A and B are shown apart, each in its own frame.
Chain A
Amino acid sequence: MTVTIRIAGEAGQGVLTTGGLLVQTLAELGLHVAATRSYMSRIRGGLNWYDIRIGESPLWAPAERANLLVALTDTAMETLAGDLANGGVVLYNGAEADGSIAIDLAGVAKELGGSALYANTVAAGAVLALLAYPLDALEALLAKEFAKKGPEVVEANRACARRGAELVAGSAGALPAPATGGQRAGSIYDGATAIGLSAAVAGVKFVTAYPMTPGTATFACLAGLADRYGIVVEQAEDEIAAVNMLCGATYAGAPALTATSGGGFALMAEGLSLAGMMELPIVAVVAQRPGPATGLPTRTGQQDLAFAVSAGHGEFPRAVFAPGTVRQCYDLTRRALETAHAFQTPVVLLTDQFLQDLQQTLDELPAEPDPIDRHVVTAGSDYQRYAETDSGVSPRALPGGEAMVVCDSDSHTADGHLTEDLDAHVAQQDKRSRKLAGMTAAALAPQRHGPPDAATLLLTWGSTYGPAREAVDELRSAGESVAMLHFAQLWPIDAAGVRETIGSPERIVCVEGNATGQLAALLRSVGALDDCELHLRYDGLPMTGTEIAERIRP
């Protein structure tokens, strides 16, 4: 069984603080956690919420409806109280409210701590009591979190947590809750952090970006890691500057990465083409949000697949990855960097707001520096940057040694100098294009979850992995013959291999967070798929397993 706690209130009211305390505490109690955030594009006011879903085994996605709503404002109450699961409970921040448990959180906070800031702790204590969980893990966390502020602050927080629990004592255990495990279920990571940590571990030394939600979370994560890992982090004047700085930095030899969202990536398109032409190993993390144009800046979507696969003028090889889980964010960031360096060409890592903010309990992610192979050679004065090779990959020397490293955005000869020799133009185009064979051979095959002979096959990519996986499990436990294929690499695609992997199930349903079915179109364009049904969601919210299962169920 799983339970979802939805903490909702205004921006700036402590939704994240309360949620953060609970996520850490619940993981400490041995529960598996999947937490997601929904927020408006504003710094104060509005309606934001933080969903914390807990269970006895790993969780992959949020639930559609909450079991416990913590309504910090009347707006939260009015908007969300009608959307609870059967038997759901509301904890209302106020004097009283029909059909809900009411606590004046700020009043209690001021009484015991002298400040409304403690309201978050009161709420956390109350939530744990409603689930009949002990308070000791929360109290230990408070002691750790507030140690720097002194014993009085720690004690006031503990008192607030205990009072919160006491005030709901009459309803303790009002919600059936998953059993706590014997030990901590894992560490809590979100997708944005997993990407940043992986990049730092892999030896990225230069990071530049222009702030854009939801890519900024990864940019800020790397800024936070910069001192420890020796990374230069610079906020660019615009995304055009960012991508061109990456090109310069990788030309000179530093592994480099940027993080942005669709609009910023659109500004980078020319620079991506430059990296293709100059054969530079740049990596762009593109965290999607619904577009077009500014769209819904703080919501999620999967609308930029076709763009990522085709962005940039001219024809050049690239790889596009799209992790499905927080752990995959970590693994594929490294793979993106390795691929970029092995093939000397740009790589895009597609994520989205949902996955950037998704928190999951995981085994500790490796944090010791473990630099990737940059595939750099030392060469002499006869060096040619774009020497022709069978693989299309030329030996890569860096400027500063005997070899003169000449790179041009114009068509160039093997030595890098610009030319209008059309034979040389074709030879170099062919050389770059040859990389695709190696990249296709190295591409990640789609991963299957469910039986190989299932009657219904879901096709998904990127962050839809979790919801689709939960849908498959739900349908299978109801006796349906269902499986899924998840694409974590979207380009290049081994079309014949994918066609064979898909096989010939009775039903194929492409499940995507966009309005046109971009994965389906992409697979058809390479001849990997004929026809399929589409299940699309593009309202800016993440999919859930239940929602997909309802749509798939015959």
Chain B
Amino acid sequence: MNLAPADTRPAWCPGCGNYALLKTLDEALDEAGIDRRKLVLVSGIGQAAKLPHYTRANVFNGLHGRALPAATGIKLANHELNVVVTSGDGDMYGEGGNHFLHAIRRNVSVKAFVHDNQVYGLTKGQASPTSQLGMVTKVQTHGVVSWPLNPLAVAIVEECSFVARSFTGAPDHLREMMVAALCHEGGFALLDILQPCPSFNRLNTFKWYKDRVRPIGEAHDPKDRATALELAFRWGDEIPIGILYTSARPSFESQLSPLGDGPLAGR
């Protein structure tokens, strides 16, 4: 395949967390033993959403905010494919917020890797749903006054099948979380990945995250929903990273009798 004419080189800023994320994703896919031919990377729009173009996979780079419904359609049409969504906080929690709520309810076996840098990158620095209170931008000129969304707490409240957080500055941890998410069976997996945006987020810098992230101790039982929620509420001097929660819900597609005869796309 001649990729020369296409813009397939990453177009991210120096110091962008996406570089580490891309490299770690490639490693994690290999470690999880995923056949790239059976892999579909799905994204919406944003800096994170460009990632599928920079690795070897089937790609569905759709509309802003709509990665999850597209991924749902792909997984239901061919449940033998590995379907991984890579999108940012604006794409997933803002424009796609309604789909986020319902994808978790539905529990289709889609893995959502959310590049969460708490700011809009592609549109140059506006607040995102996870932006810190008081963050001043060219649009939020008096600082952000809407309280940030807590995606992990929302997911745990909805009994999401797999809920984890990691940080691009901790590549070994990130790889471990990605592999765990990729290998998770039983439904929707959310991996919220903290990453710095050196161009537009001057509050939550690489150092800001690095000083705060703390791996969750091995004593935590991810099936303990109350403790998981308590971990999700922690945000400040310490930010827990690791697997917060897993539930034992059946996946959506495992409950669909027409899929028993093989993928819909093969008939």
Binding site for B on A (CB under 8 A): 203, 205-206, 208, 226-227, 230-232, 234, 236-238, 240-242, 244-254, 256, 270-271, 274, 278, 371, 381-384, 398-402, 404-410, 412-413, 415-421, 424
Contacts and interface: CB of A to CB of B under 8 A. Distances in A.
B98 to A, nearest CB: 6
A408 B59 contact: yes
Contacts of B102: 236-237, 241
B267 A205 contact: yes
Given A401-B37, A417-B7, A248 B2 contact: no
B66 interface: yes
Nearest to B105: A237
Nearest to B39: A399
Interface stretch (B136-144, B164-172, B184-192, B257-265): B257-265
Interface in B223-259: 256-259
Contacts of A408: 53, 59, 61
B77 A237 contact: no
18 contacts: A203-B267, A205-B77, A240-B69, A241-B98, A244-B70, A247-B70, A248-B69, A249-B73, A249-B74, A271-B66, A278-B60, A399-B37, A400-B78, A400-B265, A404-B1, A404-B58, A407-B62, A417-B6
B101 interface: yes
A253 B98 contact: no
A371 B113 CA distance: 37
B37 A402 contact: yes
Interface of B: 1-3, 5-8, 36-38, 40, 42, 45, 50, 53, 56-63, 66, 68-78, 80-81, 98-99, 101-102, 106, 256-259, 261, 263-267
Contacts of B267: 203, 205, 230, 371
B71 A248 contact: yes
Contacts of A371: 267
A232 B259 contact: yes
Contact of B1 (A205, A248, A278, A383): A383
Given A205-B267, A206-B264, A419-B5, A248 B74 contact: yes
Contacts of B76: 206, 232, 234, 245, 249, 254
B258 A400 contact: no
B60 A415 contact: no
Nearest to A204: B264
Nearest to A402: B37
A156 B7 CA distance: 76
A400 B37 contact: yes
Contact of A407 (B61, B66, B75, B98): B61
Contacts of A206: 73, 76-77, 264
Contact of B264 (A205, A399, A406): A205
Given A237-B99, A249-B76, A400-B80, A415 B1 contact: yes
Nearest to A383: B1
B74 A252 contact: yes
Given A230-B258, A420-B7, A252 B1 contact: no
Given A205-B77, A237-B101, A417 B66 contact: no
Contacts of A230: 258, 261, 264, 267
A382 B114 CA distance: 31
Given A398-B78, A407-B62, 17 more contacts: A205-B77, A208-B73, A230-B267, A234-B106, A244-B66, A245-B72, A248-B42, A248-B72, A251-B77, A252-B73, A253-B77, A274-B66, A399-B58, A405-B58, A418-B61, A419-B7, A421-B7
B264 A407 contact: no
Contact of B73 (A247, A398, A399): A247
Contacts of B261: 230
Contacts of A420: 7
Contacts of B61: 407-410, 418
Given A232-B259, A400-B81, A415 B3 contact: yes
Q: Which of A417, A421, A424 has the most CB of B within 10 A?
A: A417
A410 B63 CA distance: 9
Contacts of B99: 237, 241
Contact of B256 (A232, A399, A407): A232
Nearest to A398: B265
A432 B3 CA distance: 21
A406 B263 CA distance: 20
Closest 5 CB pairs of A and B: A248-B73, A253-B265, A417-B6, A252-B77, A254-B77
A251 B7 contact: no
B258 A409 contact: no
Nearest to B265: A253
B78 A253 contact: yes
B78 A252 contact: yes
A412 B6 contact: yes
A254 B98 contact: no
A404 B45 CA distance: 21
A244 B73 contact: yes
Contacts of A253: 77-78, 263-266
B258 A418 contact: no
Contacts of B72: 234, 241, 245, 248
Contact of A418 (B40, B53, B73, B259): B53
Q: Which of A205, A400, A405 has the most CB of B within 10 A?
A: A400
B1 A413 contact: no
